């Protein structure tokens, strides 16, 4: 080959290579500019631009976010200056901005607006996030810097919030294996990644199992007893799927209405079994092995860290502090409410037998049906009587109005804020002086991509940096009765209760006034976090509050005074049964997490033994709670489900101060805001409670309110 020809070919190859590199660079730049996660959101209040976010954006954003966060951590480790609060703790607090951006959006939508592709991405990214977390928490040099700051925290001229943040980071490192040997760190790394994967799979199985069941009824005899509201919703659900008849599923409004009103006992049993055998049918959504894996992995990790069981590890950083306190608490409530609960069961048993004209063995699928009938007979009140007065728009005005009465807050819908589904509405929330406080997203109705239940979450928590108060973006997600072609969304009393509960969490997030995001809003101990949510439910049993928003959706007439009174009179209806039901979940949670040996037995048998003491109705052998118990197996309540009742003790005592001073008393509300809602995790929760209440909580207020004392 001649040199001239060779050089020409060589030059052509170089040109092609350069062109390829240029095209690749241009394409990468274009992709970067199109990926909304690659830069801070240029939107109202910096809210997520849901209208621009595509599924293909998530993985690249996660990968770049992990790289950037790791680079920031490496800079902290490589800092030649002696470790200080500013160059170590504060630097860690501000690191990972982009990773936080994509994580908050992705994982919130994974629960509220999921699909198969999102679930696949979660399976891909979960091990990467676990590995990244381990790379930080098991970094010996980084831990030594944190430890040095921790050891000198009281002699460094720091304020209490800064000391609290240091202690949080130090405990986080301790509980994540930082003090382990090199060999044990590798074991911890493997176990934590396996745990993350099992928990994720558990949650996805639960969602898919819930969506997989539906009951289509076409004979009018099969829907006997159901009110028109339930029938309209079932017809609408069927039409959405191109079917004729009445379609019922396992979403809360559909399932709850059928179980309360259907006169078809055989169908109630079928529906009950469908709900309570999720995850334990031996099908593709079976969660039994995930339950075993999760509890065993948690035990192994706890043992590795020097604890005898997982509960001991968790409760070290809770108000309860140890498992003995938790079991004593559960036992005390059992003693206080057991007699009342068993009397309620006996009363309902007799009522059912009288109603049917023959002895009835009360079964779990009977409870809601006969309880609804008995409540109607005792108090002349049922959900269908109150539902017309709880139109969602009016209820929303009432819930927002309560915040106005207590703290002067106002809520203004902002159509310029992008939302992730047409059902979602975004509001600007303002303080009484007109200052912008937060963005609030509301998402009320069930759909296929949304998990069951109700929850509050945040797309961004509040913090202050460089003199700027960065306000939070809060979301409340529910599964309320949807509207139909003929009726607006009319809520049950319980749904209104849930609305107030989740708004309590939202107030905790929106009214936060701290410096550091890690300590903001609901980032508190699990047995303290339900205080702001539970306390809001109390207003729903108050005449003066109901009279502000409970108007008939057609006539505009206020709820009759006698109906309001019946609501108040019925407040303690079956309160003993409800209490023991909650306690049964607390006992089950603690049973799983106080295991000191790996579990390989039968999930059903273990569960039945754990809940036996407070079991009020016959046990149905093929059912299980554990395999669908998302709170403890893929949520944050492991070894902490007792906190619902713990917080109920706190809120009953706290609300007694409102009852004493007036339920709309601004001074009491201000004190609750200043001492509880705005403080986040900046101080020990018991001290925060004392600051508001003037004393430690007592169980007596709950017993008095419930009629147990």
Reference 368, options 620, 581, 214; nearest CA is 581
Q: Are 425 and 400 in contact (CB under 8 A)?
A: no
Instruction: State how far the Cα of 196 lies from the Cα of 297, in Å rounded to an integer.
Output: 10
Q: Are 531 and 538 in contact (CB under 8 A)?
A: no
Instruction: State how far the Cα of 42 lies from the Cα of 590, in Å rounded to an integer.
Output: 46
Q: How many residues does the chain have?
A: 709
Establish whether 554 is a catalytic residue: no
Instruction: State how far the Cα of 85 lies from the Cα of 164, in Å rounded to an integer.
Output: 12
Q: What is the DSSP letter of 83?
A: P
- Cα within 13 Å of Cα(329), Cβ side: 27
Q: How many CB atoms lie within 10 A of CB 678?
A: 19
- Give the DSSP H or E segment for 413: strand 410-413
Please provide the DSSP assignment of 113-145 as one string: S--HHHHHHHHHHHHHHHHHHHHHHT-HHHHHH
3-state secondary structure of 487: coil
Distances in Å between the Cα of 414 and the Cα atoms of 360, 429, 594, 708 are 54, 10, 48, 46
Distances in Å between the Cα of 562 and the Cα atoms of 543, 559, 662 are 10, 8, 22
Q: Are 473 and 506 in contact (CB under 8 A)?
A: no
Report the b/e string of 124-158 with b at 16+ CB within 10 A: ebbeebbebbbebbbbeebbebbbebbeebeeeeb
Q: Which two tokens stand for residue 162?
A: 């800064």
Q: How many CB atoms lie within 10 A of CB 10?
A: 10
Surface-to-core class of residue 3, CB atoms within 10 Å of its CB (0-12 exposed, 13-18 middle, 19+ buried): exposed
Instruction: State how far the Cα of 678 lies from the Cα of 666, in Å rounded to an integer.
Output: 16
Q: What is the DSSP letter of 434?
A: S
Q: What is the DSSP letter of 391?
A: B
Which of the residues 93, 344, 384, 502 is marked catalytic?
502
Q: Are 533 and 501 in contact (CB under 8 A)?
A: yes
Instruction: State how far the Cα of 155 lies from the Cα of 88, in Å rounded to an integer.
Output: 16
Q: Which residues are catalytic?
A: 502
């Amino acid at each position: 080959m001649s040199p001239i020809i060779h050089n020409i070919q060589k030059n052509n190859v170089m040109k092609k290579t350069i062109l390829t590199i240029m095209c690749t660079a241009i394409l990468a730049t274009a992709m970067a500019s199109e990926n909304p996660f690659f830069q801070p959101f240029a939107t109202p209040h910096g809210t997520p631009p849901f209208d621009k976010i595509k599924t293909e954006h998530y993985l690249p954003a996660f990968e770049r976010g992990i790289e950037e966060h790791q680079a920031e951590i490496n800079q902290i480790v490589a800092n030649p200056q002696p470790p200080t609060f500013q160059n170590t703790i504060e630097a860690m607090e501000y690191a990972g901005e982009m990773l936080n951006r994509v994580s908050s959006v992705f994982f919130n939508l994974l629960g509220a607006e999921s699909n198969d592709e999102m679930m696949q991405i979660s399976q891909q990214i979960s091990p990467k996030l676990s590995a990244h977390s381990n790379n930080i928490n098991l970094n010996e040099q980084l831990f030594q810097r944190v430890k040095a700051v921790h050891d000198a925290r009281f002699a460094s001229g720091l304020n209490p919030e800064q000391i609290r943040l240091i202690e949080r980071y130090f405990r986080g490192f301790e509980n994540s294996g930082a003090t382990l040997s090199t060999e044990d760190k590798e074991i911890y790394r493997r176990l934590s990644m396996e745990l993350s994967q099992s928990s994720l799979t558990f949650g996805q199985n639960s969602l898919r199992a819930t969506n997989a069941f539906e009951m289509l009824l076409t004979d009018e005899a099969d829907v006997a007893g159901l009110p028109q509201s339930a029938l309209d919703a079932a017809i609408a659900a069927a039409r959405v799927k191109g079917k004729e008849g009445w379609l019922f599923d396992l979403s809360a409004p559909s399932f709850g209405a059928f179980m309360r009103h259907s006169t078809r006992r055989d169908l109630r049993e079928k529906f009950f079994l469908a709900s309570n055998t999720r995850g334990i049918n031996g099908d593709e959504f079976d969660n039994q092995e995930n339950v075993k894996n999760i509890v065993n992995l948690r035990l192994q990790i706890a043992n590795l860290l020097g604890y005898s069981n997982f509960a001991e590890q968790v409760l070290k950083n809770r108000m309860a502090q140890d498992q003995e306190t938790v079991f004593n608490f559960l036992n005390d409530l059992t003693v206080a409410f057991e007699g009342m609960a068993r009397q309620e069961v006996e009363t309902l048993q007799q009522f059912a037998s009288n109603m049917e004209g023959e002895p009835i063995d009360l079964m779990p699928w009977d409870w809601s049906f006969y309880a609804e009938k008995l409540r109607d007979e005792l108090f002349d009140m049922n959900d269908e009587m109150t539902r017309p007065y709880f139109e969602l728009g009016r209820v929303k005005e009432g819930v927002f109005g309560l915040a106005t009465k207590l703290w002067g807050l106002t809520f203004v819908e902002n159509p310029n804020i992008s939302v992730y589904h047409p059902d979602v509405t975004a509001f600007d929330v303002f303080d009484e002086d007109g200052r912008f406080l937060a963005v609030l997203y509301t998402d009320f109705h069930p759909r296929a991509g949304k998990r069951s239940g109700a929850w509050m979450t945040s797309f961004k928590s509040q913090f202050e940096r460089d003199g700027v108060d960065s306000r939070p973006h809060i979301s409340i997600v529910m599964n309320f009765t949807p509207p139909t072609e003929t009726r607006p969304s009319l809520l049950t009393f319980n749904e209104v209760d849930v609305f107030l509960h989740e708004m309590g969490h939202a107030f905790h997030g929106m009214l936060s006034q701290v410096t550091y995001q890690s300590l903001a809003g609901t980032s508190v101990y699990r047995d303290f976090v339900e205080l702001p949510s539970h306390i809001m439910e109390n207003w729903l049993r108050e005449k003066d509050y109901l009279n502000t928003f409970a108007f008939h959706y057609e006539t505009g007439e206020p709820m009759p005074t006698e109906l309001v009174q019946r609501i108040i009179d019925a407040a303690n209806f079956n309160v003993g049964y409800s209490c023991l039901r909650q306690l049964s979940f607390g006992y089950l949670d603690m049973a799983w997490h106080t295991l000191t040996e790996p579990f390989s037995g039968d999930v059903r048998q273990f569960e039945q033994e754990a809940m036996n003491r407070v079991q009020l109705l016959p046990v149905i052998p093929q059912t299980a709670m554990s395999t669908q118990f998302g709170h403890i197996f893929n949520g944050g309540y492991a070894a902490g489900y007792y906190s619902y009742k713990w917080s109920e003790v706190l809120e009953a005592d706290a609300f007694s101060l409102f009852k004493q001073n007036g339920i709309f008393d601004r001074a009491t509300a201000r004190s609750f805001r200043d001492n509880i809602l705005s403080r986040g995790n900046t101080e020990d929760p018991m001290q925060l409670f004392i600051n508001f209440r003037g004393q430690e909580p007592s169980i007596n207020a709950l017993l008095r309110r419930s009629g147990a004392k």
